[in-house]
Structure 1
């Protein structure tokens, strides 16, 4: 069974989108803390009070869909160019999302405390980066969350140059 927790165009700045729990604030600029021990550079899950994601677009709106499922999803659709999975330990039932500096955000009702796997799928990162301040929607994100024991993060697919850049810059914090 799946439950949609968010399906909307989210306005971000600096491309920042965070999942937070227990009153957490979100990304503070310390990539080493958020990406410690990870190979991917798109979804920082090493900090215990939340998960940091950066979108291809610097400022503007991006469609975001967050789904809570009972079981792991199947193979990602081909339309998703970049796909990463991380494990998270949600320590509170007070779970939400926020953009840079708390400019926008909301609750994610129904996520209980516990161990989860999070798959983040993206498309349009390159065009969104190139049109970072233009009007229109260029990149889109699907976040799938399901109960699972912890395991190392994984890069399932790389299709954009933007993702390659971030995997090099902020990923590779542990040997592959």
Structure 2
């Protein structure tokens, strides 16, 4: 079966391409994605395995950027301001986000040490937390090398798809 990261990469590739539909089947697992273009993009993926229910996830529509005239573009350069989110003074380069809706856990079990703390150095393949979804415990990897500078979710908290969990200062 495909890993969550592989499915995320497939979604990104399909979204950036001109392909409208994509189906992948391997060892009894089937992943189908369909992109509809009506004032935005909606992606749906289905993962089907023998004797298991269908899992469907819908990603929110993505707005296409509007074309600008030369005059609008010049006006923006003159009034250019920083549009970064308020980080509370924390310097970071990357946010590790939740790949799914679920419950956030900082350690593999209640009596174990946490995976990472503020100041911990991580590699791209380092596990930083677990997100439990439908009784499945999904290990979330850092995806970048660097230092954890902020932890944004509380242990046992419900997290949403795309919600920032950690801030990392990359090396």
| TM superposition score normalised by structure 2 | 0.28
Higher relative contact order (CA 8 A, sep 6+): 1
- TM, length-normalised to structure 1: 0.28
